[in-house]
Amino acid sequence: MITGKICGTGSYVPPRVMDNDDMAKLVDTNDEWIRERTGIARRHIAKEETTSWMAGQAAARAVEQSGIAPEEIDMIIVATSSSETIYPCAACEVQKEIGAVNAVGYDLNAACTGFVLGFNTAQAYIQAGIYRTILVAGAESMSHMIDWTDRGTCILFGDGAGAVLLRAQEGTPVRMAAHSDGKKGPALTGLSRHRKDWDLEEEEKNAYIQMDGQGVFKFAVRKVPEIIEEILEQSNVSLEEINYFILHQANRRIIEAVAKRLKTDISRFPMNLEEYANTSAATVPILLDEMNRKGMFKEGQKLIMAGFGAGLTWAGCLFEW
Ligand code: ACO
């Protein structure tokens, strides 16, 4: 069977760092509260970098590592909900940046679930034999989407980008699952501009991320274990066979609760949210790149990725390194 193997990973995070003490200068919060409730210590915040530029940097690093010529890339998918322009899409900017002249590019918006859905979409194209080489990136400038006076949300997010390059090879097909629950959309909303029927006050209120924190927490700790079990069941693979569970890095307590529900040791749930906070669609590919560059992956290892977020949406996949 043909499947898309990861043959290069890359990431970019802005050098500008804001730690929890910096946040305490902006809103009524403190390092202890943020660490205890979220596990976050710092976040990287873009200065001049744009979302598509950061995606381009991450993509260039993935392509360089793969040794594959940019001209061989057939498709570029950028998962983002915070690109600096609606069009041109970030994927076309990435195409220009890396010289992938033969690729078609488009963006995919599914908030924090975006990268995993982009990865699954790319696998579907490859496993169907339509394309051979696909670059998937997740890139976000969350700092533009948050109300910096709202302590309930501004402490949670950071900026950055990650990317993987997939190449068609013989192997075990990727198993995937994905769901949405549009009725729960109001639990997490962002940048609802351009509604002509709203007055200005309403528009201002809706301009930034608003979140029912506890609602999102409960959703994540229930739905992530469920989708992991769904994928394992359809793949006929046991929980014990999975080397790592690479989850969206929203909150340490969510990841710990998922591990507990699955009765699995937390050491199989790598985390880097202490350093980068929640970079939405970029968390999973940044973590993948870090683990890859540390040499944590070996051929044949079984990995599960899972994302969850606004929509509400949640998605996952099982693949072999
Ligand atoms: N610093 C200090 N105090 C704070 C802060 C802060 N930054 N934010 C809220 N508080 C206060 C509240 O005002 C409240 O005070 P009160 O008791 O006097 O009313 C108290 O802390 C408790 O507030 P809660 O909202 O109940 O705190 P909770 O324990 O639920 O933690 C959090 C909030 C961290 C947002 C949690 O609900 C959570 O992790 N939710 C998951 C949401 C998430 O991760 N979203 C990310 C985006 S979505 C995604 O990526 C999928």
CA torsion sign, 272 to 285 to 56 to 300? positive
Predicted pLDDT at 207: 74
163, 10 contact by CB (below 8 A):
yes
pLDDT digits (tens, 9 = 90+) for 262-296: 999 999 999 999 999 999 999 999 999 999 999 99
Residue 198: HSE in the Cβ half-sphere, 13 Å Cα cutoff? 12
Extract the tokens encoding 104: 């078609």
CA 158 to ligand 1 centroid distance, Å: 16
Q: Which of 214, 219, 227, 313 has most ligand 1 atoms within 8 Å of its beta carbon, as the pocket-test mutant?
A: 214
In which band, very low, low, confident or very high, does the pLDDT at 191 lie, cut at 50, 70 and 90? confident
Taking a C-beta distance cutoff of 8 angstroms, is the pair 75, 105 a contact?
yes
Strand partners for 170: 2
Percent of the chain at pLDDT above 70? 95
User: Residue 278 corresponds to which tokens in the numbers above?
Assistant: 């929640």
Residue linked to tokens 């929890």: 20
Amino acid 198: pLDDT: 59
**251 counts as catalytic:** no
Residue 37 alpha carbon, nearest atom of ligand 1: 34
248 as an active site residue: the answer is yes
The answer to whether the beta carbons of residues 108 and 114 sit under 8 Å apart is: yes
Catalytic one of 92, 112, 154, 317: 112
- Asked whether the predicted pLDDT for residue 103 surpasses 90, the reply is yes
Q: What is the pLDDT of residues 27-84, one digit of tens each?
A: 999 999 999 999 999 999 999 999 999 999 999 999 999 999 999 999 999 999 999 9
What gap in Å lies between CA 179 and CA 188, rounded to an integer? 16
Tens digits of per-residue pLDDT, 203-229? 666 678 989 999 999 999 999 999 999
Phi, then psi, of 242 in degrees rounded to 5: -85, 125
pTM of the model: 0.95
Asked whether residue 154 carries a pLDDT value surpassing 70, the answer given is yes
Strand 2-12 versus strand 302-309 pairing type: unpaired
What is the residue-averaged pLDDT of the chain?
A: 95
Point out the ligand 1 atom lying closest to the alpha carbon of residue 112.
50
Residue 299 has pLDDT above 90, yes or no: yes
What is the DSSP track for 118-152? HHHHHHHHHHTTS-SEEEEEEEEEGGGTS-TT-HH
Mutate to test the pocket of ligand 1, among 22, 27, 37 (most ligand atoms within 8 A of CB): 37
| CA 37 to ligand 1 center in whole angstroms | 7
- What does each C-alpha distance from 181 to 3, 231, 257 come to in angstroms? 29, 18, 21
Q: What pLDDT, on the 0 to 100 scale, is given for residue 195?
A: 56
Give 261 Cα–ligand 1 centroid separation in angstroms.
22
For residue 312, say if its preceding peptide bond is cis, omega within 30 degrees of 0: yes
Which of 254, 309, 315 has its CA nearest to residue 279? 309
How does residue 148 score in pLDDT terms, banded at 50, 70 and 90? very high
Residue type at 187 in one-letter notation:
A
Examine the residue annotation and report whether 112 is marked as an active-site residue of this protein. yes
Contact 76, 137 (CB under 8 A): yes
Q: How much of the chain exceeds pLDDT 90, in percent?
A: 92
